[in-house]
Structure 1
Amino acid sequence: MIKHILIAHDLRSTADPALRRAAQLARQHKARLTLLHVLDSRLTQAEQEKVQQQLDNSLTQFAPSGSELRLCQGKPAEAVLEQVQLLGADLLVLGAHHQRHELFSGTSLDRIARRCPVPLLLVARDEDQAYNSALSALDFSLCACTALNHASRLLPEGANIHAVHVFETAKNLGHADTQLATQKALIDQLIEDETRHLPANGPTLSHAVHQGGLLHTLQQNLSQRQPQLLVLGSHGRSALSQALLGSLAQHFLHKAPCDVFVVR
């Protein structure tokens, strides 16, 4: 259950769409909303006051009544992660960026995604209606299953989550058709097991098993289904799945085709 949403706002044009999404989720879940801004220590007092006024305006315009503004200083990534812990937030929301920026580019974004103790939502689209469609990358790792579970609690009743499992045939383990049938049976059982833990009034869940390369197959599904949200585990349990899903999460965080929801 989401009780407290933290939105990190950097004053760029992509930050207000992220705030609107965070506000929509706060209303949907009846959660607290805190807007966080990491101040540049080089700003004068007058410049800091101007920043605070701009953030207050965004908060008043987009956020639910009772939402709070929090200002802090420090290295952006470390400051955001520290505030997640101090405030006891359940969800961290960031705006996606296609240009380099200190807070959301390169190693800073990777550091936040890798160390964030709560689910991370990267907002790439300017929409404020509740999510109605999501695509979830699913393997047999605990991390991927946890991401699916969190997404089912994020999305409202009536939405759909389509789970995609990508199977790469092992040439030395027999016929491809037999391997694929085995994978489908295993995923069917996994979905059945996971469904028992999902809320009864949550989104519907569909799934499919595809044979091919992981990234290419997910990109095809994203193109065909056009989901509003991509759901990813940040890493898997085994060394192999950790490498695959770790690089997968990193790829889509930096090249977000839609909003991206990452869970450790």
Structure 2
Amino acid sequence: MFRKVLFPVVLTHKMENYLSCISDMVKAGVEQVDLMHVVDLHDTYGDPKIVEFAQETLAKWKESLMKAGVAKVETYLEEGEPTEEILRRLDEEDYSFVMLGSRGTSLFKRLFLGSVAENVLHYARQPVLLLKSYPCEEGGKATYSLTCGSVFEKILYVTDLSEGAEKALPYLEKMKDIPGATLDILHVHDTRAMEYMSTEKIQEISAEEKRRIEQMRKNLADKGFVVEAHIVEDHPVAGILKYAEEKKPSLLVIGAKGKSKLLEMVLGSVTETIIHKAPCSVFVIR
């Protein structure tokens, strides 16, 4: 489930923030990390010094990951269009998920929307772990840090009780092996759907949702997770973001939904909005 990970990287020191997350992933079962950098010829004009710098950086980061306990680390340096090369490798190899780095709220729309990460999120067949970092100041100089010391420390799993959302459960079960990890399950009872229902029907649906959420909580608790479950009534996006702002999770886990047979990997509107506005890293499960 967490065995083999693809991590496309850009060559900045900010990427080193994300390498620290790998040690947690090893505890959850990650055995191999493939570091990949794509030299975009449109930006570099084939400058050999850039290729040399990329090789040196990938080698340094490989050594860092090996020291963090990753059993196997491969590096790939490609030339071409980044999105195409990343999606090609995802199609050719059997990856458990792909990990992407981004920056936080103030820069997020400018750097992420329409970017390589955006395209990978939409079209990759695999789950996508989107790591967010935010501008901060340490020792009088500007830097970037992850939203939390450990990405898997405080997990929020959002479910609409659909088949797509339940695909996340096996991943959650593996996260329980990370020391100190806790889990909140959140279901938002969509108030829009209740406008034209009878009181009896609303009560019936609410009772069934409570039963399923409690059973889910119990199953995960039985497997060793420290877990709580909550149901709120709200618009899905507003309810999820409000809860996340209040509870401040380190990771939000959510399912992706396809919109059509033609574009099976296009994200559903709720999922896409949450990805862009969540105040923490996001794991999108397919």
Q: What TM-score range do you get, normalising by the shorter chain?
A: 0.7 to 0.9
1:41-96 CA-to-partner distances (Å, cap 9, x unmatched) read 22322220112112222232344464121112232122112212323111111112
Question: 1:109 is matched with which residue: 117, 137, 156?
Answer: 117
Instruction: Give TM-score, length-normalised by structure 2.
Output: 0.77
User: Residues 5 and 32 of structure 1 are in contact (CA less than 8 Å); yes or no, is this contact kept in structure 2?
Assistant: yes
**Using a 3 Å threshold, how does the CA distance of structure 1 residues 166 and 68 change in structure 2: closer, same or farther?**
same
Question: 2:58 is matched with which residue: 55, 60, 64?
Answer: 55
**Using a 3 Å threshold, how does the CA distance of structure 1 residues 155 and 17 change in structure 2: closer, same or farther?**
farther
Select between 147-156 and 136-145 the one with higher mean Cα deviation: 147-156
- Give the aligned partner of residue 135 of structure 1: 156
**Unaligned ranges ≥5, structure 2:** 134-145
Report SS of the residue matched to 2:12: coil
- Give the aligned partner of residue 143 of structure 2: none
**Identity over aligned pairs, percent:** 24
Report SS of the residue matched to 1:124: strand
- Give the aligned partner of residue 152 of structure 1: 173
Report SS of the residue matched to 2:161: coil
Select between 69-78 and 150-159 the one with higher mean Cα deviation: 150-159
Task: Show the 5 A alignment for 1:216-235.
Answer: 216-235=238-257
- Give the aligned partner of residue 137 of structure 2: none
Select between 131-140 and 54-63 the one with higher mean Cα deviation: 54-63
User: Residues 37 and 54 of structure 2 are in contact (CA less than 8 Å); yes or no, is this contact kept in structure 1?
Assistant: no
1:138-178 CA-to-partner distances (Å, cap 9, x unmatched) read 11311111124323323426533212111233222123xx5
Is 2:215 the partner of 1:215? no
User: Residues 136 and 148 of structure 1 are in contact (CA less than 8 Å); yes or no, is this contact kept in structure 2?
Assistant: no
In 1, Cα distance between equivalents of 2:249 and 2:285 = 18
User: Residues 161 and 203 of structure 1 are in contact (CA less than 8 Å); yes or no, is this contact kept in structure 2?
Assistant: yes
Report SS of the residue matched to 1:29: coil
How many residue pairs match? The answer is: 256
Report SS of the residue matched to 1:210: strand
Task: Show the 5 A alignment for 1:53-132.
Answer: 53-63=56-66, 64=68, 66-97=72-103, 98-99=107-108, 100-101=110-111, 104-106=112-114, 108-125=116-133, 126=146, 129=150, 131-132=152-153
1:183-234 CA-to-partner distances (Å, cap 9, x unmatched) read 4422233336656976954524332211111111111211221111101111
Higher strand share: 2
Select between 119-128 and 205-214 the one with higher mean Cα deviation: 119-128
- Give the aligned partner of residue 196 of structure 2: 172
Give me the CA root mean square deviation: 3.0
In 2, Cα distance between equivalents of 1:199 and 1:73 = 47
How many angstroms does 1:9 deviate by? Answer: 0.6
Q: Which amino acid in 1 is paired with 2:174?
A: R
Instruction: Give TM-score, length-normalised by structure 1.
Output: 0.82
